[in-house]
Structure 1
């Protein structure tokens, strides 16, 4: 998993962020429903939720996993769990139906709704514990800039993808069921399979060295 160059980290952050941003799930469904009910501006507010919710998750996972850095077996198991999670996300990208673009007639409190939905969603906790923070700890060996690059590109990708989804849903709703959308998701799914293999190899190498 040695993603120790800035371009490699940027590519990983972009692939994972775009996949999480465009993949069907609770937050994207809320982005679309708020957009269709109240306009793209409300969908954009929901898209900003990860910037609020993820910081405590990342810090908690960093504190725990940094203390386990001297336990190759534990890190190996976490890497294999991360590989399984990325594989599952990749499969979801390839097989999931288009996101539900319902039209709820609720009053907007979009950022609050987005924060609540993301805190209740298990995916950020699983991702940062088994994939994101292990990559950050690995990147930290190359210096703080490496960590900053991954985080900056990841959040630009995930938030940007959801903002784009809101803008597209506001004007071109049919895109969400189009062949272009399916091809985009297929490409993102294949990129996640690549990183799943990298995590699996890293996990087995850690377990083999114990």
Structure 2
């Protein structure tokens, strides 16, 4: 249960990330309504889950070799620290808006497939979930605990995505550039601290 709770807390990081998926979800909810936006959420959820499974299985095989466990811990720490610094230092371009490729005729399947493509082709998404998978492996050392951790992360992401779509109109009005900057700073600090923790554990 502790692993699940840690997963819920960790899930706040991707849940409040204001990247292309976040902005596209909000825009689709506004343009096409909450019910249709759910198809986009399902596509995102399916892709996130698939990427986690792939990265977790790959890293689990490496972690079975005792000589690589320390390297994995250090590598994961470096990766999380770098992601944290990117969130902290990267400035908003001011022109990052989701692509709205429809005037009301975007079908449910189109929303679903767009979410999959938007997630699957983004190397940052792959790198982030690989870092999270690495963290789970090095932190818990037990398959059941790792799965509980992932369940917590994904549950938090799914719940917040649904809330984003439901409150999209209000959210877009409140989400100023300044607020988005504060959110990114908070995410960056959390990721950096997790990275430092893993680095210390690996080096010691």
Q: Give the structure-1-normalised TM-score.
A: 0.74
In structure 2, the residue matched to 1:20 is 14
Task: Using the TM superposition, give the Cα deviation of residue 96 of structure 1 relative to its aligned residue in structure 2, in angstroms.
Answer: 4.7
Task: Tell whether the 8 Å contact from 1:16 to 1:192 is kept in structure 2 after alignment.
Answer: no
1:154 is displaced (CA, Å) by 0.2
Query: For residue 56 of structure 2, what is the aligned residue in structure 1?
Result: 62
**Corresponding residue number in structure 2 for 1:190:** 189
State which of 66, 75, 82 in structure 1 corresponds to 2:69. 75
Per the TM alignment, residue 180 of structure 1 is displaced from its structure 2 partner at its CA by 5.1
Q: C-alpha offsets along residues 17-74 of structure 1, whole Å, 9 cap, x if unaligned?
A: 2211221223213212322322233333323334312344333333332332244453
Q: CA deviation at 1:133?
A: 4.3
TM-superposed deviation, 1:177: 0.7
> Separation in 1 of the partners of 2:180 and 2:20?
18
Greater shift in the superposed pair: 53-62 or 25-34:
53-62
Report if aligned partners of 1:14, 1:157 keep a CA contact under 8 Å in 2.
Answer: yes
Unaligned residue ranges in structure 1 (runs of 5+): 1-5, 206-210
Q: Deviations over 1:77-114 (max 9, x none)?
A: 33333223322333444455389455725124212110
CA contact under 8 A between 2:25 and 2:37: conserved in structure 1? yes
- The structure-2 alpha-carbon separation of the partners of 1:159 and 1:174, relative to structure 1 and needing over 3 Å to count, comes to same
Shift in Å at residue 158 of structure 1?
1.6
The counterpart of 1:104, out of the listed 94, 100, 104, is 100
CA separation of 1:20/1:70 partners in 2, compared to 1, >3 Å: closer, same or farther?
same
CA RMSD of aligned residues (A): 3.0
Maintained 8 Å contact 1:21/1:162: yes
Pick aligned residue for 2:83 from 64, 77, 89: 89
Tell me, yes or no, if the aligned pair for 2:73 and 2:202 is still in contact at 8 Å.
Answer: yes
Superposed, which structure 2 residues align to 1:1-210 within 5 Å? Answer: 6-7=1-2, 9-94=3-88, 95-97=90-92, 100-102=96-98, 104-106=100-102, 107-108=106-107, 109-136=110-137, 138-141=139-142, 144=144, 146-177=145-176, 181-205=180-204
Which residue is 1:208 aligned to?
none
Equivalenced residue count is 197
Instruction: Say if 1:27 and 1:46, in contact at 8 Å, map to a contact too.
Output: no
Q: Deviations over 1:168-196 (max 9, x none)?
A: 32234221116555444433332222211
* Residues 186, 130 of structure 1: alpha-carbon distance in 2 compared, 3 angstrom cutoff: closer
